[in-house]
Amino acid sequence: MRRFRILILLVLAISILQLCACEDLVPRDTASLLIPRFQRSEIIGFVAGFGTTFAALPDLIAMLRRRSTAGMNPRMVAIMAIFQILWIYYGLLILSRPVIAWNVIAVLTNSLSVAAYFYFLRRERSEGQKRPQPTLSRAS
């Protein structure tokens, strides 16, 4: 078993050395075959941005279904929004369409989350004031 592991490590080491030595295997950022206007890095950026942008969407959907602020942390959403705005600025500086597009969508998603949070918070507070508070009575 030990010899088998050593053999695998040796084969992996040789493979890595050969891959590093082959200049032809280095990916070039050429135009995409599917959409010639985009570079391959932009397409990968759009795919990666899709996942990170909509990562907060399940929390928003859950809050809308519950019709409650339970489980929502407004500080986290505010911190995310600030950094997403910085990402938009960075995308403008480097002229990256994926960075700009996905972070604009993420800021809009976060804005919906904040709006829903304050809407449900106001509703929960008004319902809490309407309900009579239970009184504690002492048993004699």
Please report the DSSP string for 37-106 in residue order.
TSBHHHHHHHHHHHHHHGGGHHHHHHHHHHTS-TT--HHHHHHHHHHHHHHHHHHHHHT-HHHHHHHHHH
For the question of whether the overall pTM of this predicted structure is more than 0.85, the answer is: no
In a domain, 19, yes or no: no
In a domain, 30, yes or no: no
Query: Which structural domain, as residue segments, surrounds residue 48?
Result: 40-129
Residues 2-30 have a mean pLDDT of 69
pLDDT band at 114 (very low <50, low <70, confident <90, very high): confident
132 has a pLDDT exceeding 70: no
Nearest CA among 73, 79, 66 for reference residue 124 = 66
Q: Are the CB atoms for 89 and 103 separated by under 8 Å?
A: no
pLDDT band at 74 (very low <50, low <70, confident <90, very high): confident
In a domain, 3, yes or no: no
Residues 73-102 have a mean pLDDT of 84
> Which residue would you say has higher pLDDT here, 58 or 132?
58
